[in-house]
Structure 1
Protein backbone atom coordinates (compact mmCIF):
# COMPACT_ATOMS: atom_id res chain seq x y z
CA UNK A 1 0.00 0.00 0.00
CA UNK A 2 1.40 3.38 -1.06
CA UNK A 3 0.97 5.99 1.66
CA UNK A 4 2.87 8.71 -0.18
CA UNK A 5 0.88 11.95 -0.59
CA UNK A 6 -0.45 12.53 -4.11
CA UNK A 7 1.71 14.61 -6.41
CA UNK A 8 0.54 18.21 -6.60
CA UNK A 9 -0.20 19.84 -9.94
CA UNK A 10 1.04 23.41 -10.25
CA UNK A 11 0.62 26.05 -12.94
CA UNK A 12 2.95 29.05 -13.27
CA UNK A 13 1.95 31.83 -15.65
CA UNK A 14 4.87 33.61 -17.25
CA UNK A 15 6.88 30.61 -16.15
CA UNK A 16 9.48 30.43 -18.91
CA UNK A 17 11.94 33.05 -17.63
CA UNK A 18 12.92 35.11 -14.61
CA UNK A 19 10.83 34.79 -11.45
CA UNK A 20 8.34 32.43 -13.08
CA UNK A 21 10.99 29.97 -14.22
CA UNK A 22 12.61 30.02 -10.77
CA UNK A 23 9.19 29.30 -9.23
CA UNK A 24 8.73 26.34 -11.57
CA UNK A 25 12.13 24.94 -10.60
CA UNK A 26 11.46 25.28 -6.86
CA UNK A 27 8.05 23.64 -7.17
CA UNK A 28 9.48 20.77 -9.22
CA UNK A 29 12.24 20.35 -6.63
CA UNK A 30 9.47 20.10 -4.01
CA UNK A 31 7.93 17.17 -5.89
CA UNK A 32 5.23 18.95 -7.90
CA UNK A 33 4.27 18.44 -11.51
CA UNK A 34 4.51 21.88 -13.12
CA UNK A 35 2.93 23.41 -16.20
CA UNK A 36 4.26 26.76 -17.42
CA UNK A 37 3.46 29.07 -20.26
CA UNK A 38 4.82 32.20 -21.89
CA UNK A 39 4.38 34.06 -25.14
CA UNK A 40 7.79 33.55 -26.76
CA UNK A 41 8.18 30.13 -28.34
CA UNK A 42 11.98 30.10 -28.06
CA UNK A 43 11.75 30.60 -24.30
CA UNK A 44 9.00 28.02 -24.01
CA UNK A 45 11.10 25.42 -25.78
CA UNK A 46 14.19 26.22 -23.71
CA UNK A 47 12.23 26.08 -20.45
CA UNK A 48 10.68 22.76 -21.47
CA UNK A 49 14.07 21.29 -22.36
CA UNK A 50 15.86 22.57 -19.23
CA UNK A 51 13.13 21.62 -16.77
CA UNK A 52 12.59 18.21 -18.37
CA UNK A 53 16.32 17.50 -18.24
CA UNK A 54 16.46 18.33 -14.52
CA UNK A 55 13.17 16.82 -13.35
CA UNK A 56 11.83 14.47 -16.04
CA UNK A 57 9.60 15.03 -19.05
CA UNK A 58 6.61 13.45 -17.30
CA UNK A 59 6.60 16.26 -14.74
CA UNK A 60 6.75 19.22 -17.13
CA UNK A 61 4.32 20.90 -19.50
CA UNK A 62 5.42 24.06 -21.32
CA UNK A 63 3.37 25.82 -23.98
CA UNK A 64 3.11 29.15 -25.76
CA UNK A 65 0.00 30.96 -24.49
CA UNK A 66 -0.99 34.62 -24.47
CA UNK A 67 -3.19 35.61 -21.53
CA UNK A 68 -5.03 38.00 -23.83
CA UNK A 69 -6.28 35.04 -25.88
CA UNK A 70 -8.99 33.45 -23.78
CA UNK A 71 -9.51 30.39 -26.00
CA UNK A 72 -5.80 29.55 -25.91
CA UNK A 73 -5.78 29.95 -22.13
CA UNK A 74 -8.79 27.66 -21.78
CA UNK A 75 -7.14 25.05 -24.02
CA UNK A 76 -4.00 25.16 -21.85
CA UNK A 77 -5.91 24.52 -18.63
CA UNK A 78 -7.90 21.74 -20.33
CA UNK A 79 -4.67 20.09 -21.45
CA UNK A 80 -3.17 20.21 -17.95
CA UNK A 81 -6.32 18.74 -16.40
CA UNK A 82 -6.55 15.94 -18.99
CA UNK A 83 -2.86 15.09 -18.64
CA UNK A 84 -2.56 15.29 -14.84
CA UNK A 85 -5.36 16.75 -12.74
CA UNK A 86 -6.97 20.05 -11.89
CA UNK A 87 -4.38 22.45 -10.39
CA UNK A 88 -3.53 22.37 -6.71
CA UNK A 89 -1.32 25.44 -7.00
CA UNK A 90 -1.62 28.50 -9.24
CA UNK A 91 1.16 31.08 -9.42
CA UNK A 92 0.08 34.19 -11.35
CA UNK A 93 3.40 35.72 -12.36
CA UNK A 94 2.95 36.89 -15.98
CA UNK A 95 3.16 40.64 -16.39
CA UNK A 96 3.83 43.55 -18.72
CA UNK A 97 5.72 46.71 -17.73
CA UNK A 98 6.09 48.88 -20.85
CA UNK A 99 9.10 51.13 -21.25
CA UNK A 100 9.92 53.64 -23.95
CA UNK A 101 13.64 53.98 -24.56
CA UNK A 102 14.09 52.45 -21.13
CA UNK A 103 11.79 54.91 -19.39
CA UNK A 104 8.13 55.00 -18.35
CA UNK A 105 5.75 57.40 -20.01
CA UNK A 106 4.36 60.32 -18.05
CA UNK A 107 0.88 59.72 -16.71
CA UNK A 108 -0.82 62.03 -19.18
CA UNK A 109 1.03 60.47 -22.13
CA UNK A 110 -0.05 56.84 -21.65
CA UNK A 111 -1.96 55.66 -24.73
CA UNK A 112 -5.27 53.97 -23.94
CA UNK A 113 -4.22 50.94 -25.99
CA UNK A 114 -1.13 50.47 -23.82
CA UNK A 115 -3.15 50.91 -20.62
CA UNK A 116 -5.69 48.31 -21.75
CA UNK A 117 -2.96 45.91 -22.86
CA UNK A 118 -1.19 45.98 -19.49
CA UNK A 119 -4.41 45.45 -17.55
CA UNK A 120 -5.44 42.66 -19.93
CA UNK A 121 -2.33 40.68 -18.99
CA UNK A 122 -1.55 41.74 -15.42
CA UNK A 123 -5.07 41.96 -14.04
CA UNK A 124 -7.68 40.40 -16.33
CA UNK A 125 -5.37 37.49 -17.15
CA UNK A 126 -5.02 36.83 -13.44
CA UNK A 127 -8.79 37.03 -13.05
CA UNK A 128 -9.36 34.44 -15.78
CA UNK A 129 -6.82 32.02 -14.28
CA UNK A 130 -8.29 32.36 -10.79
CA UNK A 131 -11.84 31.95 -12.07
CA UNK A 132 -10.79 28.70 -13.70
CA UNK A 133 -8.98 27.10 -10.76
CA UNK A 134 -10.55 28.48 -7.55
CA UNK A 135 -13.87 26.58 -7.83
CA UNK A 136 -11.99 23.36 -8.61
CA UNK A 137 -9.73 23.85 -5.60
CA UNK A 138 -12.75 24.53 -3.40
CA UNK A 139 -14.37 21.29 -4.55
CA UNK A 140 -11.39 19.20 -3.45
CA UNK A 141 -10.84 21.37 -0.33
CA UNK A 142 -7.25 22.19 -1.12
CA UNK A 143 -5.65 24.98 -3.07
CA UNK A 144 -2.87 27.51 -3.14
CA UNK A 145 -3.17 30.68 -5.23
CA UNK A 146 -0.16 33.01 -5.21
CA UNK A 147 -0.28 36.34 -6.99
CA UNK A 148 2.94 38.15 -7.85
CA UNK A 149 2.57 41.89 -7.26
CA UNK A 150 5.30 44.50 -7.01
CA UNK A 151 6.99 46.98 -4.70
CA UNK A 152 5.85 49.57 -7.27
CA UNK A 153 2.31 49.28 -5.91
CA UNK A 154 3.43 49.40 -2.28
CA UNK A 155 5.77 52.39 -2.29
CA UNK A 156 6.27 55.45 -4.49
CA UNK A 157 7.00 53.97 -7.94
CA UNK A 158 10.40 55.01 -9.24
CA UNK A 159 10.57 53.26 -12.60
CA UNK A 160 7.27 51.53 -13.36
CA UNK A 161 4.55 53.30 -15.31
CA UNK A 162 1.04 54.00 -14.04
CA UNK A 163 -0.59 51.12 -15.93
CA UNK A 164 1.76 48.58 -14.32
CA UNK A 165 1.40 50.16 -10.88
CA UNK A 166 -2.40 50.22 -11.09
CA UNK A 167 -2.60 46.62 -12.27
CA UNK A 168 -0.37 45.36 -9.47
CA UNK A 169 -2.18 47.41 -6.82
CA UNK A 170 -5.48 45.91 -7.97
CA UNK A 171 -4.18 42.43 -7.21
CA UNK A 172 -4.41 43.23 -3.50
CA UNK A 173 -8.14 43.82 -3.89
CA UNK A 174 -8.49 40.61 -5.86
CA UNK A 175 -6.69 38.75 -3.06
CA UNK A 176 -9.18 40.05 -0.49
CA UNK A 177 -12.15 39.04 -2.63
CA UNK A 178 -10.78 35.55 -3.20
CA UNK A 179 -10.06 35.03 0.49
CA UNK A 180 -13.57 36.15 1.33
CA UNK A 181 -15.07 33.52 -0.97
CA UNK A 182 -12.71 30.58 -0.68
CA UNK A 183 -10.93 30.65 2.71
CA UNK A 184 -13.54 28.33 4.24
CA UNK A 185 -12.75 25.74 1.53
CA UNK A 186 -9.09 25.31 2.56
CA UNK A 187 -7.92 27.45 -0.35
CA UNK A 188 -5.30 30.07 0.51
CA UNK A 189 -4.65 33.17 -1.55
CA UNK A 190 -1.58 35.28 -0.90
CA UNK A 191 0.26 38.07 -2.68
CA UNK A 192 4.03 38.44 -2.92
CA UNK A 193 5.37 41.93 -3.67
CA UNK A 194 8.94 41.64 -4.99
CA UNK A 195 11.32 44.56 -4.86
CA UNK A 196 14.09 45.04 -7.40
CA UNK A 197 14.84 41.60 -8.83
CA UNK A 198 17.49 40.71 -11.41
CA UNK A 199 15.22 39.95 -14.38
CA UNK A 200 14.83 41.52 -17.80
CA UNK A 201 12.54 44.18 -16.28
CA UNK A 202 15.49 45.44 -14.23
CA UNK A 203 17.94 47.99 -15.59
CA UNK A 204 21.37 46.83 -16.75
CA UNK A 205 23.94 46.35 -13.95
CA UNK A 206 26.19 49.12 -15.29
CA UNK A 207 23.36 51.68 -15.41
CA UNK A 208 22.76 54.54 -13.00
CA UNK A 209 19.26 53.17 -12.26
CA UNK A 210 20.70 49.82 -11.18
CA UNK A 211 23.32 51.39 -8.93
CA UNK A 212 20.74 53.73 -7.41
CA UNK A 213 18.52 50.75 -6.63
CA UNK A 214 21.34 48.99 -4.81
CA UNK A 215 22.02 52.14 -2.80
CA UNK A 216 18.38 52.13 -1.57
CA UNK A 217 18.40 48.49 -0.47
CA UNK A 218 19.70 47.84 3.06
CA UNK A 219 20.64 44.28 2.09
CA UNK A 220 23.15 45.77 -0.33
CA UNK A 221 22.18 43.76 -3.37
CA UNK A 222 19.52 43.32 -6.01
CA UNK A 223 17.14 40.44 -5.39
CA UNK A 224 17.34 37.15 -7.23
CA UNK A 225 14.42 35.23 -8.76
CA UNK A 226 15.20 32.47 -6.28
CA UNK A 227 14.39 34.83 -3.39
CA UNK A 228 10.80 34.95 -4.63
CA UNK A 229 10.61 31.32 -5.68
CA UNK A 230 11.57 30.07 -2.22
CA UNK A 231 8.57 31.88 -0.71
CA UNK A 232 6.30 30.58 -3.47
CA UNK A 233 7.38 27.03 -2.71
CA UNK A 234 6.67 27.52 0.99
CA UNK A 235 3.26 29.11 0.45
CA UNK A 236 2.42 26.15 -1.80
CA UNK A 237 3.18 23.65 0.93
CA UNK A 238 0.96 22.04 3.54
CA UNK A 239 2.87 23.93 6.23
CA UNK A 240 1.48 27.26 4.97
CA UNK A 241 -2.21 26.40 5.40
CA UNK A 242 -2.81 29.15 8.01
CA UNK A 243 -1.26 31.92 5.91
CA UNK A 244 -4.10 33.49 3.98
CA UNK A 245 -4.70 36.96 2.58
CA UNK A 246 -1.15 38.09 3.30
CA UNK A 247 0.90 40.60 1.34
CA UNK A 248 4.50 39.46 1.66
CA UNK A 249 7.14 42.06 0.82
CA UNK A 250 10.43 40.63 -0.43
CA UNK A 251 12.73 43.55 -1.14
CA UNK A 252 15.84 43.42 1.02
CA UNK A 253 14.47 46.10 3.33
CA UNK A 254 13.87 48.75 0.64
CA UNK A 255 10.23 49.14 1.67
CA UNK A 256 9.11 48.64 5.27
CA UNK A 257 5.30 48.63 5.79
CA UNK A 258 5.51 49.33 9.51
Structure 2
Protein backbone atom coordinates (compact mmCIF):
# COMPACT_ATOMS: atom_id res chain seq x y z
CA UNK A 1 0.00 0.00 0.00
CA UNK A 2 1.47 3.32 -1.05
CA UNK A 3 1.33 5.96 1.64
CA UNK A 4 0.33 9.57 1.02
CA UNK A 5 0.97 12.00 3.85
CA UNK A 6 -0.98 15.26 3.92
CA UNK A 7 0.86 17.66 6.22
CA UNK A 8 -0.52 21.09 7.04
CA UNK A 9 1.94 23.49 8.60
CA UNK A 10 4.62 21.52 6.76
CA UNK A 11 6.94 24.50 6.39
CA UNK A 12 7.43 24.73 10.15
CA UNK A 13 10.60 23.43 11.79
CA UNK A 14 8.69 20.38 13.02
CA UNK A 15 7.03 19.84 9.65
CA UNK A 16 10.27 19.87 7.71
CA UNK A 17 11.96 17.57 10.21
CA UNK A 18 9.04 15.15 9.99
CA UNK A 19 9.09 15.16 6.19
CA UNK A 20 12.79 14.34 6.21
CA UNK A 21 12.14 11.40 8.52
CA UNK A 22 9.17 10.11 6.53
CA UNK A 23 10.89 10.26 3.14
CA UNK A 24 14.37 9.12 4.15
CA UNK A 25 14.72 5.61 2.74
CA UNK A 26 10.96 5.48 2.03
CA UNK A 27 9.62 3.58 -1.00
CA UNK A 28 9.63 5.75 -4.11
CA UNK A 29 5.83 5.70 -4.28
CA UNK A 30 5.59 7.48 -0.91
CA UNK A 31 4.13 10.95 -1.42
CA UNK A 32 3.98 14.00 0.86
CA UNK A 33 1.43 16.75 0.19
CA UNK A 34 2.83 19.73 2.08
CA UNK A 35 0.89 22.90 2.89
CA UNK A 36 2.49 26.20 3.77
CA UNK A 37 1.37 29.81 3.65
CA UNK A 38 3.64 32.31 1.90
CA UNK A 39 6.77 30.42 2.91
CA UNK A 40 7.16 27.54 0.48
CA UNK A 41 10.75 28.60 -0.19
CA UNK A 42 11.59 26.76 3.03
CA UNK A 43 10.72 23.51 1.23
CA UNK A 44 13.13 24.02 -1.68
CA UNK A 45 15.92 21.81 -0.32
CA UNK A 46 13.53 18.96 0.50
CA UNK A 47 11.95 19.22 -2.95
CA UNK A 48 15.41 18.98 -4.49
CA UNK A 49 16.34 15.95 -2.40
CA UNK A 50 13.07 14.08 -2.92
CA UNK A 51 11.93 14.86 -6.48
CA UNK A 52 8.50 13.48 -7.28
CA UNK A 53 7.79 12.60 -3.66
CA UNK A 54 6.95 16.06 -2.35
CA UNK A 55 4.23 18.38 -3.63
CA UNK A 56 3.82 21.81 -2.07
CA UNK A 57 0.71 23.97 -1.76
CA UNK A 58 0.44 27.62 -0.72
CA UNK A 59 -2.83 27.89 1.20
CA UNK A 60 -4.10 30.38 3.78
CA UNK A 61 -5.78 28.17 6.38
CA UNK A 62 -7.44 31.17 8.01
CA UNK A 63 -9.72 31.52 4.96
CA UNK A 64 -12.45 28.87 4.89
CA UNK A 65 -13.08 29.28 1.16
CA UNK A 66 -9.38 28.71 0.44
CA UNK A 67 -9.36 25.62 2.66
CA UNK A 68 -12.35 24.23 0.78
CA UNK A 69 -10.65 25.00 -2.55
CA UNK A 70 -7.50 23.27 -1.30
CA UNK A 71 -9.29 20.01 -0.50
CA UNK A 72 -10.97 20.14 -3.92
CA UNK A 73 -7.57 20.47 -5.59
CA UNK A 74 -6.24 17.53 -3.58
CA UNK A 75 -9.24 15.40 -4.48
CA UNK A 76 -8.74 16.12 -8.17
CA UNK A 77 -4.96 15.96 -8.45
CA UNK A 78 -3.53 13.75 -5.69
CA UNK A 79 -4.02 10.29 -4.22
CA UNK A 80 -6.30 10.12 -1.20
CA UNK A 81 -4.21 10.74 1.93
CA UNK A 82 -3.54 7.70 4.08
CA UNK A 83 -2.10 9.97 6.78
CA UNK A 84 -3.11 13.48 7.84
CA UNK A 85 -0.82 15.50 10.12
CA UNK A 86 -2.05 18.92 11.25
CA UNK A 87 0.69 21.20 12.59
CA UNK A 88 -0.18 24.86 11.92
CA UNK A 89 -0.33 27.39 14.74
CA UNK A 90 0.42 31.04 15.23
CA UNK A 91 3.22 31.98 17.64
CA UNK A 92 2.17 32.22 21.28
CA UNK A 93 1.29 35.72 22.44
CA UNK A 94 1.97 36.03 26.16
CA UNK A 95 -0.57 38.53 27.46
CA UNK A 96 -2.86 38.93 30.44
CA UNK A 97 -6.49 37.99 29.89
CA UNK A 98 -7.61 41.57 30.49
CA UNK A 99 -5.79 42.40 27.23
CA UNK A 100 -7.31 39.41 25.40
CA UNK A 101 -7.18 39.94 21.63
CA UNK A 102 -10.42 38.49 20.30
CA UNK A 103 -9.46 38.93 16.65
CA UNK A 104 -6.18 37.08 17.15
CA UNK A 105 -7.99 34.30 19.03
CA UNK A 106 -10.50 33.93 16.20
CA UNK A 107 -7.59 33.69 13.77
CA UNK A 108 -5.98 31.00 15.93
CA UNK A 109 -9.21 29.01 15.91
CA UNK A 110 -9.53 29.24 12.14
CA UNK A 111 -5.98 28.07 11.52
CA UNK A 112 -5.71 25.40 14.19
CA UNK A 113 -9.25 24.10 14.68
CA UNK A 114 -11.70 25.04 11.93
CA UNK A 115 -9.31 24.15 9.11
CA UNK A 116 -8.63 20.81 10.81
CA UNK A 117 -12.34 20.04 10.96
CA UNK A 118 -12.85 20.90 7.29
CA UNK A 119 -9.87 18.86 6.14
CA UNK A 120 -10.81 15.88 8.31
CA UNK A 121 -14.28 15.89 6.78
CA UNK A 122 -12.63 15.74 3.37
CA UNK A 123 -10.03 13.01 4.00
CA UNK A 124 -11.67 10.66 6.48
CA UNK A 125 -14.20 9.11 4.06
CA UNK A 126 -11.40 7.67 1.88
CA UNK A 127 -9.66 6.33 4.99
CA UNK A 128 -12.92 4.67 6.00
CA UNK A 129 -13.20 2.99 2.59
CA UNK A 130 -9.58 1.83 2.83
CA UNK A 131 -10.08 0.61 6.41
CA UNK A 132 -6.82 2.36 7.29
CA UNK A 133 -5.72 5.81 8.31
CA UNK A 134 -3.54 7.81 10.65
CA UNK A 135 -4.47 11.29 11.87
CA UNK A 136 -2.08 13.22 14.08
CA UNK A 137 -2.21 16.64 15.73
CA UNK A 138 0.28 18.64 17.75
CA UNK A 139 -1.02 19.94 21.04
CA UNK A 140 1.01 21.32 23.96
CA UNK A 141 2.10 20.34 27.43
CA UNK A 142 0.25 23.48 28.56
CA UNK A 143 -2.95 21.43 28.41
CA UNK A 144 -1.53 18.91 30.88
CA UNK A 145 -1.95 20.03 34.46
CA UNK A 146 -1.56 23.72 35.30
CA UNK A 147 -0.78 25.96 32.29
CA UNK A 148 1.51 28.97 32.58
CA UNK A 149 0.03 32.39 33.09
CA UNK A 150 -0.97 34.68 30.23
CA UNK A 151 -1.56 31.98 27.60
CA UNK A 152 -5.36 31.76 27.58
CA UNK A 153 -5.87 32.02 23.81
CA UNK A 154 -3.22 29.41 23.02
CA UNK A 155 -4.41 26.97 25.68
CA UNK A 156 -8.05 27.27 24.60
CA UNK A 157 -7.25 26.58 20.95
CA UNK A 158 -5.07 23.61 21.80
CA UNK A 159 -7.71 22.26 24.19
CA UNK A 160 -10.21 22.33 21.33
CA UNK A 161 -7.80 20.18 19.31
CA UNK A 162 -7.68 17.73 22.20
CA UNK A 163 -11.47 17.43 22.19
CA UNK A 164 -11.51 16.84 18.44
CA UNK A 165 -8.92 14.08 18.78
CA UNK A 166 -10.89 12.19 21.42
CA UNK A 167 -14.14 12.49 19.51
CA UNK A 168 -12.70 11.33 16.19
CA UNK A 169 -10.76 8.52 17.85
CA UNK A 170 -13.82 6.79 19.27
CA UNK A 171 -15.88 7.31 16.12
CA UNK A 172 -13.32 6.03 13.62
CA UNK A 173 -11.46 3.31 15.53
CA UNK A 174 -13.66 0.58 14.04
CA UNK A 175 -12.44 1.56 10.58
CA UNK A 176 -8.76 1.04 11.39
CA UNK A 177 -8.16 4.78 11.72
CA UNK A 178 -6.17 6.14 14.64
CA UNK A 179 -6.32 9.75 15.82
CA UNK A 180 -3.68 10.97 18.26
CA UNK A 181 -1.70 13.98 19.53
CA UNK A 182 1.78 14.74 20.65
CA UNK A 183 2.10 17.37 23.37
CA UNK A 184 5.59 18.86 23.49
CA UNK A 185 6.87 21.12 26.19
CA UNK A 186 8.40 24.40 25.07
CA UNK A 187 10.22 23.68 21.83
CA UNK A 188 12.97 25.96 20.56
CA UNK A 189 11.84 26.77 17.03
CA UNK A 190 10.82 29.83 15.02
CA UNK A 191 7.47 29.45 16.78
CA UNK A 192 8.97 31.19 19.81
CA UNK A 193 9.97 34.31 17.92
CA UNK A 194 7.51 36.47 19.89
CA UNK A 195 8.28 34.88 23.26
CA UNK A 196 10.68 36.83 25.49
CA UNK A 197 14.09 35.20 25.93
CA UNK A 198 13.69 35.22 29.70
CA UNK A 199 10.60 33.00 29.43
CA UNK A 200 12.41 30.60 27.10
CA UNK A 201 15.42 30.43 29.41
CA UNK A 202 13.25 29.95 32.49
CA UNK A 203 11.42 27.05 30.83
CA UNK A 204 14.72 25.37 30.03
CA UNK A 205 15.98 25.80 33.59
CA UNK A 206 12.74 24.42 35.05
CA UNK A 207 12.75 21.33 32.84
CA UNK A 208 14.09 18.22 34.64
CA UNK A 209 16.45 17.67 31.70
CA UNK A 210 17.73 21.23 31.92
CA UNK A 211 16.75 22.24 28.39
CA UNK A 212 13.81 22.84 26.10
CA UNK A 213 12.61 20.39 23.48
CA UNK A 214 13.74 20.42 19.85
CA UNK A 215 12.05 19.04 16.72
CA UNK A 216 14.49 16.13 16.85
CA UNK A 217 13.01 15.20 20.25
CA UNK A 218 9.40 15.37 19.10
CA UNK A 219 9.40 13.96 15.58
CA UNK A 220 10.32 10.35 16.54
CA UNK A 221 7.21 10.19 18.74
CA UNK A 222 5.15 11.54 15.85
CA UNK A 223 6.63 9.00 13.47
CA UNK A 224 5.75 6.17 15.84
CA UNK A 225 2.11 7.26 16.16
CA UNK A 226 1.94 7.43 12.35
CA UNK A 227 3.42 3.96 11.93
CA UNK A 228 1.74 0.63 11.27
CA UNK A 229 2.99 -0.58 14.65
CA UNK A 230 0.84 2.00 16.47
CA UNK A 231 -2.39 0.61 15.08
CA UNK A 232 -3.88 -0.14 18.52
CA UNK A 233 -3.12 3.30 19.96
CA UNK A 234 -5.79 5.95 19.45
CA UNK A 235 -7.24 8.90 21.31
CA UNK A 236 -4.03 9.58 23.21
CA UNK A 237 -2.09 12.74 23.88
CA UNK A 238 1.55 11.72 24.20
CA UNK A 239 3.65 14.13 26.29
CA UNK A 240 7.13 14.80 24.93
CA UNK A 241 8.33 17.02 27.74
CA UNK A 242 11.57 15.82 29.31
CA UNK A 243 9.57 15.17 32.46
CA UNK A 244 8.14 18.68 32.87
CA UNK A 245 4.58 17.38 32.39
CA UNK A 246 3.73 13.84 33.41
CA UNK A 247 0.42 11.99 33.06
TM-score (norm 1): 0.87
Structure 2 residue aligned with 1:46: 42
Deviations 1:31-58 (A, max 9, x none): 2311111212xx21231x21122222x1
The residue correspondences of 1:68-147 to structure 2 (distance < 5 A) are 68-99=62-93, 104-147=94-137
Give unmatched runs, 5+ long, in structure 1: 1-5
Give unmatched runs, 5+ long, in structure 2: none
**Which deviates more from structure 2 when the two are superposed, residues 166-175 or residues 228-237?**
228-237
Cα distance between partner residues in 2 of 1:156 and 1:203: 23
Aligned residues: 244
Matched, 1:37 2:35: yes
Q: Give secondary structure in 1 for the equivalent of 2:156.
A: helix
Please, which of 15, 19, 39 is the counterpart of residue 10 of structure 2? 15
Runs of 4+ in structure 1 over 4 Å off: 203-206
Cα distance between partner residues in 1 of 2:231 and 2:81: 16
Cα distance between partner residues in 2 of 1:98 and 1:19: 16
Structure 1 residue aligned with 2:19: 24
Cα distance between partner residues in 1 of 2:95 and 2:31: 40
**Which deviates more from structure 2 when the two are superposed, residues 60-69 or residues 139-148?**
60-69
Cα distance between partner residues in 1 of 2:67 and 2:237: 27
Q: CA deviation at 1:119?
A: 1.1
Q: CA deviation at 1:78?
A: 3.4
Cα distance between partner residues in 1 of 2:20 and 2:192: 21
CA contact (8 A) 2:169 2:179 kept: yes
Deviations 1:58-103 (A, max 9, x none): 111112111122332233333334443110000111012342xxxx
Please, which of 162, 165, 176 is the counterpart of residue 172 of structure 1? 162
Query: Would the alpha carbon gap of residues 249 and 113 (structure 1) be closer, same or farther in structure 2, given more than 3 Å must change?
Result: same
